[in-house]
Amino acid sequence: MEDDDCPELVPIEPQPDSDEKQIPVTIITGYLGAGKTTLLNYILTEQHNKRIAVILNEFGEGSALEKSLAVSQAGELYEEWLELRNGCLCCSVKDNGLKAIENLMEKKGKFDYILLETTGLADPGAVASMFWVDAELGSDIYLDGIVTVIDAKYGLQQLAEEKADGLVNEAARQIAVADLTIINKTDLVSVEELSHVRDTVRSINGLVKIVETQRSRVDLAEVLDLHSFDSKNGVNLAEKLQLDQPARPHLDKSILTVTFNVTGDVSEDALNVFIQDLLWEKLMCNKEGRPMTVIRLKGIVALAGKANQVMLQGVHELYELNETPQMWDGNPRLNRLVFIGRNLDKDILMEKFISSVMTNAQT
């Protein structure tokens, strides 16, 4: 009998609790050879309380098989996943991993965490965006955070690589979108070199948390359950948007973090226009006339007429505004905006924001 012959006869099973929970996805990215697989293996062997599914996002011929063998050394934790894809992990992840996650979700209840490793040359922002685009997937899973592994020895060299046609260097892009960066292979560099790498990472992304490791051995609490995109946890929002240090110039001078605070109420409609002009239309240029490109956008905004704080999240061209449970603490209401990208000019962004978005700006 064909599947679609008997819809009425299918009993409605009560769903177990675990099916109703949204599953967190952590994207693990990093340049070629930085230590992503080492990190995955470490997590798989180290963790004890979570059932983790790993998706490897590979494009190159042959490398996926090699990688799946490497990861599967972690043992039984991995077997469930191999089972899911006809025993062949590498088949499922030639694309951006979406299909693999969809298939995985058919086995809901067997996993409570997904790690998605991108290829070394992938743009993690594009991978992250798919969680917003795919509404169906969005109800099953949520993006917990983006973790970027950096090679302490070769990271600076990779960041300095010039791209043709003015494209953004992948290594810099991977740092720009990260919620956590792991500077790995610290055994291979001096204290001074390490500090240079750290400063460079910080200068690209003024918000990102930085940990340093050997063999990607990191406290798992630093990597998993970051809730980086979660608007429910309003209390930590302001804290998360604090810049660690002021941005400094670095090798690829075009990518940096810009942040500003403005007190007052924001018009929601005008804010949408502002963001769309910036992210979609690329209408805003810096003083040299180069269009500003935002790779990551975050903020807390006070929408006129709303008592609660609203969280702004953007990755590439996608963004969302979500009301948080956190009430504004009386007046004044302090909007905080963070932009990470290239050709960004703080004065121009801030001036435009105040003149077009604020209903009653007090700077």
Of the residues 120, 155, 206, 314, which one makes contact with ligand GTP according to CB under 6 A:
120
Nearer to ligand GTP, 178 or 311 (CB): 178
Q: According to the binding rule CB under 6 A, does residue 68 interact with ligand GTP? A: no
CA gap 96, 54 in Å, rounded: 14
Rounded distance, CA 102 to CA 99, Å?
5
3-state secondary structure of 336: strand
Tell me the DSSP string of 70-114. Answer: HHHTT-GGGHHHHHHTTT-GGGGGSSSSHHHHHHHHTTTTS-SEE
Considering the complex, what minimum distance in angstroms separates the CB of residue 346 from ligand GTP?
A: 34
CA–CA distance from 322 to each of 77, 136, 208, 237, 275 (Å)?
Answer: 35, 18, 21, 12, 15
Q: Where are the beta strands (DSSP E) in the chain?
A: 23-30, 52-56, 113-117, 141-151, 180-184, 209-212, 255-263, 293-301, 308-315, 318-327, 334-342
Residue 187 interacting with ligand GTP (CB under 6 A): yes
Find the binder of ligand GTP among 57, 68, 181, 184 (CB under 6 A): 184
Nearest approach in angstroms of CB 59 to ligand GTP is 11
To the nearest whole angstrom, how small is the minimum distance from the Cβ of residue 184 to ligand GTP? 5
**Closer of 217 and 232 to ligand GTP (Cβ):** 217
What is the widest separation between alpha-carbon atoms in the chain? Answer: 70
- The residue behind tokens 């009430």 is 327
Identify which of residues 38 and 231 has a Cβ nearer to ligand GTP in the complex.
Answer: 38
Q: Does 30 bind ligand GTP (CB under 6 A)?
A: yes
Which string of x and - marks every residue 192-221 that binds ligand GTP (by CB under 6 A)?
----------------------xxx-----
Site size toward ligand GTP, by CB under 6 A? 16
**Token pair recorded at residue 238:** 């302001």
Tokens standing for 361?
């700006």
Q: Does 183 bind ligand GTP (CB under 6 A)?
A: no
Q: Please report, for residues 6, 119, 203, 257, 341, the alpha-carbon distance to residue 246 in angstroms, rounded to integers and kept in the order given.
A: 63, 31, 8, 9, 15
Give residues 321-360 in contact with ligand GTP (rule: CB under 6 A).
none
30 vs 234 by CB, closer to ligand GTP:
30
C-beta closer to ligand GTP: residue 30 or 206: 30
Q: Which residues contact 256 (CB under 8 A, 6 or more apart)?
A: 203, 204, 206, 247, 249, 250, 340, 341, 342, 344
118 is an interface residue for ligand GTP by CB under 6 A? no
32 binds ligand GTP (CB under 6 A): yes
Q: Is 125 in the site for ligand GTP (CB under 6 A)?
A: no
Minimum distance from CB of 71 to ligand GTP (Å)? 9
Chosen residue from 82, 133, 188, 285 binding ligand GTP by CB under 6 A? 188
Q: Which of residues 156-175 bind ligand GTP (CB under 6 A)?
A: none
Does position 155 interact with ligand GTP (CB under 6 A)? The reply is: no
**Contact of 197 with 183, CB cutoff 8 Å:** yes
Rounded to a whole number of angstroms, the minimum distance from the CB of residue 349 to ligand GTP is 34
Q: C-beta of 35: minimal distance to ligand GTP in Å?
A: 4
Which residue(s) pair with 29 in the sheet?
148
Among 35, 97, 264, 341, binds ligand GTP (CB under 6 A): 35
> What is the bridge-based pairing of β-strands 52-56 and 113-117?
parallel
Residues that bind ligand GTP (CB under 6 A): 30, 32-38, 120, 184-185, 187-188, 214-216
